[in-house]
Amino acid sequence: MKIATWNVNSLRARADRVEDWLQRSDVDVLAIQETKCKDENFPWELFEKNDYEVAHFGLSQWNGVAIASRVGMDDVDRTFAGQPTFGKGGKDPIQEARAIAATCGGVRVWSLYVPNGRSLTDEHMAYKLHWLDVLKEQAQGWLAEDPEAQIALMGDWNIAPMDEDVWDIDYFVSEGLTHVSAPERSAFSAFVDTGFTDVVRPYNPGPGVYTYWDYTQLRFPKKEGMRIDFALASPALAARVTGASIDRDERKGKGASDHAPVIVELA
């Protein structure tokens, strides 16, 4: 069984590439982020004609998460309990489409699009850290309730937890950029402390292994990327992992997303 995560950065704009990749990669479950569409204009037929069930959570032209599965789909949840809302500048807070879950082939898969802090002093940063803290508390509760639960927290975490996960840590620190700050890294490591494991890094070690390259300043050909897309597995699921890869080639060519798919193979 193969499960994967991919921030497609607008599903409708990349429908042909997503369909080609599904057929080529032969994945059983795909967690998708940044669909950037509402349910009414989601390309349901793309998945149905390729024999995938799909669940989507989209409220506007921003954010949006989905799960596609060809090994069954049960118990779909849109948002996790207590998921924080956000209202910029004192506006009424709204729920953003950033989390969806489904049980697929016995694995509880979460597709997560963690908020981007934007800057270290922006109100989005406080929102991001609170969002992660609530999710961590929920994840801790899931494991306490069932230590043998098979759970995959997959998606775009908008955090580079190690210095080697960005192309130039000195640049990020000197510019005071997000994704590498101590509070963000602490929020990520809290999931590891809870019992979840980054199951992709052991199969893709070392610096220069990225999942995201900005469209600007020729970041991709310059190999100036970031590693911010992860699959964190519960202990029972981590024990089943036999391999993992990052499909860097999918970042190439016309109309590519700025993120690459991340794939996990399970026994």
The pLDDT of residue 145 is 98
pLDDT for res 196: 98
Residue 127 domain flag: yes
**Mean pLDDT, 10 residues at a time, the chain of 267 residues:** 98 97 98 97 97 96 96 98 89 94 98 97 96 98 98 98 98 97 98 98 97 97 98 98 98 97 98
Tokens of 210: 């990225």
- Domain presence at residue 89: no
Q: How far apart are CA 147 and CA 141, in angstroms?
A: 10
Contact predicate 112/135, CB 8 Å = yes
Integer-rounded Cα Rg, in Å, for the chain is 17
**pTM assigned to the model:** 0.97
CATH code of 77's domain: 3.60.10.10
Q: What's residue 89's pLDDT?
A: 72
Following DSSP, what letter does each residue of 199-254 receive, concatenated? Answer: -SGGGS-STT--SB--SGGGTTTTT--B--EEEEE-HHHHTTEEEEEE-GGGGSST
Domain span including residue 26: 2-84+94-266
**Domain count for the chain:** 1
Give the largest CA-CA distance in the chain. 49
Q: Is residue 201 in a domain?
A: yes
Per-residue pLDDT at 88: 78
The label of the residue with tokens 């809302």 reads 85
Is residue 200, in this structure, part of any structural domain at all? yes
Instruction: Name the DSSP class of 176.
Output: T
E strand intervals along the chain: 2-7, 29-33, 53-57, 65-69, 74-78, 99-104, 107-113, 151-156, 197-198, 229-233, 241-246, 262-266
**Structural domain contains residue 40:** yes
- Per-residue pLDDT reduced to its tens digit, 160-187: 999 999 999 999 999 999 999 999 999 9
